[in-house]
Amino acid sequence: MRLDHQRTYSDDEIADVVVVGTGAGGAPLLASLAAHGLRVVALEAGDNTEPRDHTPDEMLAAQQINWMDDRLSGGADATAFGPNNSGRGVGGSMLHWGAFAPRPDARDLRLRGESGVGRDWPIAHAELTRWIEQVERFVGISGPERYPWDPSRRYEMPPVARNASSTAMLRGAEALGITATDGPVAVATRDRDQEHWGLRHACVNAGTCHQGCRTGAKVTMDTSYLPLAVARGAEIRAGAMVVDIETDARGRVSAVVYRRDGELRRQRTAALVLAAGGVETPRLLLHTGLANGSGQVGRNFLAHGATQVWGRYDEDMRAYRGYPSSIITEDLLRPSDADFAGGYLIQSLGVQPQTLATTLARGGGLRGAELMRWMRDYRHLAGVGINAECLPGDDNRLTLSDEIAADGLPRVRVDFSAGENEKRLRAHAIRTMVALVEAAGARETIVLDRTAHTIGTARMGSDPGDSVVDAEGRSWEVPNLWICDNSVFPSALAANPALTIMALSLRTADALRRSAGR
């Protein structure tokens, strides 16, 4: 995005707010604060890009827009980082997100009240929905005319084009009596003028959303909230990696220390928002020892179950064409025969070859002749995958290792093992998906295990004793420190997270602004 004409602040000026990270959590808040006249500076570790800088080539794309510095992954179901869940750049993980944008289900926000496990959200569903609608209006979402699980809902644009994997999922679902339809997708299906950025071209079905969208069709922060923020006077400093947080005698944040062009600098500020994502935010907090009186920083690490089932069809599916995950079903959010709490969404799947091979090897244990057989049948594959609830576990947490990474901070270690609830849910989901894919006409199926997203490591709550921030995202201990990204989620929710993160971002901005008297 254009940053050459932006307003700039000097390190010695005391910014009203410094925001660390420009992804789903940082960008809407930055725009909202700037629009209300606050003097805001965003520090972003990654580079600034234009949509046309992206390439469909998986290998180049991974190096350009992902967080590729090693994280250490432990536990029985070690999480894959890098291209699997971590972005880096002006726009954060939204540069490579899949743009699947379901709203969270009301029952998921009250999971504990309903089932006695997990956590309830300290926010009412109706209020969250109002913020979500505000995000949807600003960025533009496409979806079906009538949403079966919420008939009152309206989407601005018609659904994305269905590909061969979409029609296969619809066929299978119909045979099983499962309701499935075009999903809510954060992709412009018509040319759309985006205020302060320009014309976002309608989706051309390139299928490379995870490599970065070159048309501007996909909602990203660098084509929506960030240009708005800059137009309202915010500064975005790209290539600025925050490595330390300074506090004054009263324990309030006074400045952040960041590295840019190899040089350590200090930006003074009256308030700090951490929006560095579910891994880097707790890493900074653990490293500085801030805001962790509850001992909850790094705990409650949650990863959505994201198991996939692929089918081999006689037809030439070539499901890499088109938006990859256009079909949704919410029928399995509370299956009647469930022996677990919570539920899951199913989406249709197309995939790029390197991503598929990686998942076949890691999630399917394939190698050698079998790996080659599936890859040579690439044209004939189409899949479905879930996004599933995940409950906190005592051993599932993020800690700092003894090893120092290139950025000078200790490397994180994330331990994750699926608990009993995740295992039962997964078994149910596999049964459903295999039946669906077979009913769609696949000759052969394969189950690929995977988890997605980095959630819950600085959770919000109403009890300072067992949460890191309050319901508005403000630290219980450091009154001018706020957190606004995937780490504040009290529970995972079955819905994919980004839409909710953006909504919380606007909500936290509103609270911060009011606390600052604006």
Partner 1 sequence: MARSVVERIATIAPARWMLLGHSMGGKIATVVAARTLRGETPLFGLAGVVLVASSPPSPEPMDEGRRLAMQGWAGAGAVSELHARSFVLADLADSDAADHDALPRPELDRATDDVHRANPEAWRAWLDRGSQEDWSVAVSGSDFKSPLPVPALILAGAADGDLDADAQRRLTAPHFAHAEVREIADAAHLIPIEQPAALAAEVRRFWRERAGLGPTVPSDFGRVLASARTTSRTRAALAARALADDPDYAPTVLDTEQLGRLRLLADHLVPQPGPAIDLAARVDAQLATGVGDGWRPADAPSDPEAYRRGLDALADWARIPDADARGEALDRLGDGDLEAWLEDAAVDLARQWLAHPATMALIGFDGVATGGDTGRQSGFAELRADRAESWEPLPDPAVSSPGVQPPGITNGASRSTTEAEA
Ligand X SMILES: Cc1cc2nc3c(=O)[nH]c(=O)nc-3n(C[C@H](O)[C@H](O)[C@H](O)COP(=O)(O)OP(=O)(O)OC[C@H]3O[C@@H](n4cnc5c(N)ncnc54)[C@H](O)[C@@H]3O)c2cc1C
Residue 166 binding ligand SF4, by CB under 6 A: no
CA atoms in the 13 A half-sphere facing the CB of 7? 18
Binds 187, which of ligand X, ligand SF4, partner 1, none (CB < 5 to 8 A, cut-off by type)? ligand SF4
- Closest separation in Å from C-beta 197 to ligand SF4: 15
Binding mask 43-72 for ligand X (x = CB under 6 A): xxxx--------------------------
Distance (Å, whole) CA 218 – CA 198: 14
Total site size for ligand SF4, rule CB under 6 A: 13
Which member of 29, 217, 229, 275 binds ligand SF4 (CB under 6 A)? 217
The DSSP-derived string for 448-510 is E--EEEEE-TT-B-S-TTS-SB-TTSBBSS-TTEEE-SGGG-SS--SS-SHHHHHHHHHHHHH
Distance (Å, whole) CA 290 – CA 498: 26
- Closest separation in Å from C-beta 215 to ligand SF4: 4
Residue 12 neighbours by CB distance under 10 Å: 9
Residue 89 binding ligand X, by CB under 6 A: yes
**Which residue, 212 or 490, is less far from ligand SF4 as judged by CB?**
212
**Which residue, 74 or 293, is less far from partner 1 as judged by CB?**
74
- Closest separation in Å from C-beta 52 to ligand SF4: 12
Q: How far is CA 226 from CA 57, 230, 494, 499, in A?
A: 26, 6, 28, 16
Distance of CA 489 to the CA centre of its chain: 11
Distance (Å, whole) CA 463 – CA 277: 23
**Which residue, 213 or 386, is less far from ligand SF4 as judged by CB?**
213
Is residue 422 within 8 Å of 388, Cβ to Cβ? yes
Which member of 19, 21, 31, 183 binds ligand X (CB under 6 A)? 21
Q: What is the DSSP letter of 110?
A: B
Total site size for ligand X, rule CB under 6 A: 40
Distance (Å, whole) CA 227 – CA 229: 5
Residue 203 binding ligand X, by CB under 6 A: no
List the interface residues with ligand SF4, window 301-340 (CB under 6 A).
323
Is residue 268 within 8 Å of 254, Cβ to Cβ? yes
**In which element (H, E) is residue 397 found?**
strand 397-404
Residue 99 binding ligand X, by CB under 6 A: yes
- Closest separation in Å from C-beta 392 to ligand SF4: 33
- Closest separation in Å from C-beta 58 to ligand SF4: 13
Is residue 159 within 8 Å of 167, Cβ to Cβ? no
List the interface residues with ligand X, window 458-497 (CB under 6 A).
485-486, 496-497
Of all residues in the shown chain, the one whose CB is closest to ligand X is 23
List the interface residues with ligand X, window 214-243 (CB under 6 A).
241-242
Three-state secondary structure along 309-343? EEEECCCCCCCCCCCCCCEEECHHHCCCCCCCCCC
Q: What is the DSSP letter of 237?
A: E
Binds 209, which of partner 1, ligand SF4, ligand X, none (CB < 5 to 8 A, cut-off by type)? ligand SF4
- Closest separation in Å from C-beta 365 to ligand X: 22
Residue 208 binding ligand X, by CB under 6 A: no
Distance (Å, whole) CA 295 – CA 193: 46
Binds 380, which of ligand X, ligand SF4, partner 1, none (CB < 5 to 8 A, cut-off by type)? partner 1
What residues line the site for ligand SF4 (CB under 6 A)? 187, 203-209, 213, 215, 217-218, 323
What residues line the site for ligand X (CB under 6 A)? 20-26, 43-46, 85, 87-89, 92-94, 96-100, 210, 241-242, 275-278, 280, 284, 453, 485-486, 496-499, 501
